[in-house]
């Protein structure tokens, strides 16, 4: 130990870099010299990019880091898990009709303790979201982080916000899980929407020059202009270079406070205000979710494909195309849109000279008398009008009556298996009662081009050689292909 402590302090962080997290923490606490020698490396290793739950214990950690004179210098990327136990009740929830409470008394008592922890946690979470507490905490925190550049939302069991495992151990259920979205109206805006409001207000008040922002599904058009004005967006996002926004339309009861109900929503107004505040934007990821009362696969009016033009995604994107001039875009990702070829080209036209990457998936283009094959003009636009384009990814493209294939005669589709290959468990049927829905092989609905020559050759081929099929159902794509832009690069 004495020999180790005699090493120059500059070498010690390099040695610590090879330790496991547990050994790292233990070694730092063995003596003051090691703790001081590794402080800078410790801050960068564990706090440069960190996620938090919307709970008092988790956010108090963030506030403590922001108040620390050294650790706060290393924070560049802060993300939040916007909800807890979303649309899920944990198994410890008491059942008053359970007849075996007397027999399993100890078990019932343990579950009651877990349920009380769950109730306290959810009360704290809601109090934080639906009051000014979160906004005030984030304002104070953002002001204290001199190198903060990225703020976002993540809801996935692949990511670990501070405190999730403690809640899981105490309650017996992972707080990150997402249950089935309810089919009826909600009484208030969603957790991600309230978090979005708090973030924008905190950025506006703290004067942080944020460069990147990414969100979960935000009901941005349901937010009243009096709650989030154009001026507030302008002061919050003056330096924004990267934005990934998932926009959705809430289905709210008439009693919902401080929000536009379904009848009052003007499709695209809130999203347009947000994007108008980012004229220097270089990278945009845009996803527009359907109205919860509609379907992606069935037009709003049954057996009337033209009624897609009254859907929320169509009206929203049309407003963006008419009202925006994003001239600095270099990378563009579009998902879950419903639009026309003319509108899509108009949206990309201001940035056509700068675009180097275009990714499009699950997008439906509606044909017209002038454009009966709507994807052809888009492929031609990419080929002829985007001279810098060096990467394209097209996946599960659609038109009003079905999907687009890059193969004229695709082989027979692969039936959905009766059992799950890994476990042997039976799979539930899809589609018709007989389970008649089929999936088609991945490469017939996907096209990727990498490098200027490869992109040009593939666009040249598909301008004419793409085929309009009946509805095509697809596998979930490899997400690593989709999430490869610079939103997560070391800065």
pLDDT the model gives residue 431: 34
Return the minimum-mean-pLDDT range out of 43-57, 222-236, 400-414: 400-414
Mean pLDDT of 283-297: 82
Q: What is the pLDDT of residues 185-197, one digit of tens each?
A: 787 889 999 999 9
Checking DSSP bridges between strand 398-399 and strand 364-366, what pairing results, if any? Answer: parallel
> Shortest CA distance to 155 belongs to which of 75, 87, 71?
87
Q: Is residue 86 within a helix (H) or strand (E), and if so which, with residue range?
A: none
Question: Which pTM value belongs to this model?
Answer: 0.87
The mean pLDDT of the chain is 85
- Separation between Cα atoms, residue 43 and residue 69, nearest integer Å: 11
Model confidence at 346: pLDDT above 60 = yes
Q: What torsion do the CA atoms of 67, 126, 233, 291 make, to the nearest 10 degrees?
A: 150
Q: What is the pLDDT of residues 114-126, one digit of tens each?
A: 889 999 999 999 9
Checking DSSP bridges between strand 391-395 and strand 446-450, what pairing results, if any? Answer: antiparallel
pLDDT the model gives residue 428: 42
- In percent, the amount of the chain with pLDDT more than 70 equals 83
pLDDT the model gives residue 481: 77
| 268 Ramachandran zone, left/alpha/beta (phi>0; psi -120 to 50) | left
Q: What is the pLDDT of residues 198-240, one digit of tens each?
A: 999 999 999 899 999 999 999 999 999 999 999 999 999 999 9
- Separation between Cα atoms, residue 74 and residue 76, nearest integer Å: 6
Model confidence at 6: pLDDT above 80 = no
> Shortest CA distance to 339 belongs to which of 267, 273, 393?
267
Residues 6 or more apart from 256 whose CB is under 8 A from it?
186, 187, 188, 189, 250
Model confidence at 454: pLDDT above 70 = yes
pLDDT the model gives residue 439: 36
pLDDT the model gives residue 398: 94
Helix axes 56-67, 133-143, angle to 10 degrees: 20
Return the minimum-mean-pLDDT range out of 156-160, 191-195, 341-345, 458-462: 156-160
Give the C-alpha distances (Å, rounded to integers) separating 297 from 305, 316, 364, 472. Answer: 10, 18, 10, 10
Return the minimum-mean-pLDDT range out of 9-13, 146-150, 153-157, 264-268: 9-13
Domain ranges of the chain: 2-42, 48-229, 282-484
Model confidence at 53: pLDDT above 90 = yes
- Separation between Cα atoms, residue 343 and residue 367, nearest integer Å: 12
Burial class (CB in 10 A: 0-12, 13-18, 19+), 255: exposed
Model confidence at 374: pLDDT above 80 = yes
pLDDT the model gives residue 2: 64
């Amino acid at each position: 130990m004495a020999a180790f402590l005699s090493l120059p302090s500059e070498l010690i962080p390099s040695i610590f870099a090879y330790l496991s997290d547990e050994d790292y923490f233990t070694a730092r606490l063995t003596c003051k010299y090691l703790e001081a020698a590794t402080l800078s490396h410790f801050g960068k290793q564990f706090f440069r990019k960190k996620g938090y739950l919307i709970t008092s214990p988790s956010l108090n950690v963030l506030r403590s880091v922001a108040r620390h004179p050294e650790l706060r210098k290393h924070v560049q990327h802060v993300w939040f898990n916007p909800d807890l136990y979303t649309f899920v009740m944990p198994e410890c929830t008491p059942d008053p009709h359970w007849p075996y409470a007397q027999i399993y008394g100890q078990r019932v008592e343990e579950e009651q303790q877990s349920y009380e922890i769950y109730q306290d946690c959810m009360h704290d979470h809601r109090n934080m979201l639906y009051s000014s507490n979160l906004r005030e905490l984030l304002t104070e925190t953002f002001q204290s982080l001199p190198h903060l550049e990225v703020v976002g939302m993540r809801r996935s069991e692949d990511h670990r916000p501070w405190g999730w495992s403690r809640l899981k151990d105490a309650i017996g259920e992972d707080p990150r899980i997402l249950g089935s979205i309810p089919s009826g109206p909600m009484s208030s805006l969603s957790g991600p929407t309230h978090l979005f409001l708090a973030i924008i207000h905190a950025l506006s008040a703290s004067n942080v020059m944020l460069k990147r922002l990414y969100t979960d599904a935000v009901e941005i058009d349901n937010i009243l202009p009096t709650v989030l004005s154009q001026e507030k967006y302008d002061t919050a996002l003056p330096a924004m270079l990267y934005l990934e926004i998932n926009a959705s339309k809430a289905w709210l009861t008439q009693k919902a406070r401080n929000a536009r109900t379904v009848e009052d929503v003007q499709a695209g107004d809130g999203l347009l205000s947000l994007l108008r505040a980012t004229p220097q934007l270089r990278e945009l990821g845009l996803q527009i979710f359907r109205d919860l009362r509609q379907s992606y696969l069935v037009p709003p009016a049954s057996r009337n494909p033209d009624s897609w033009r009254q859907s929320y995604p169509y009206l929203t994107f049309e407003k963006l195309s008419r009202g925006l001039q994003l001239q600095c875009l270099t990378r563009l990702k579009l998902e879950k849109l419903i639009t026309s070829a003319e509108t899509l080209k108009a949206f990309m036209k201001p940035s056509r000279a700068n675009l180097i990457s275009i990714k499009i998936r699950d997008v439906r283009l509606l044909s017209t008398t002038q454009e009966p094959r709507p994807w052809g003009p888009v492929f031609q636009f990419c080929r002829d009008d985007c001279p810098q384009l060096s990467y394209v990814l097209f996946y599960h493209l659609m038109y009003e009556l079905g999907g687009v294939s890059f193969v004229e005669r695709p082989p027979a589709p692969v039936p959905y298996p009766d059992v799950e290959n890994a476990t042997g468990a039976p799979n539930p049927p899809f589609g018709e009662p007989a389970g008649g829905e089929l999936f088609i092989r991945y490469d017939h609905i996907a096209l990727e081009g990498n490098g200027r020559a490869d992109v040009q050759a593939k666009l040249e081929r598909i301008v004419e050689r793409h085929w309009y099929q009946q509805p095509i159902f697809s596998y979930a794509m490899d997400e690593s292909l989709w999430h490869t832009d610079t939103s997560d690069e070391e800065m």
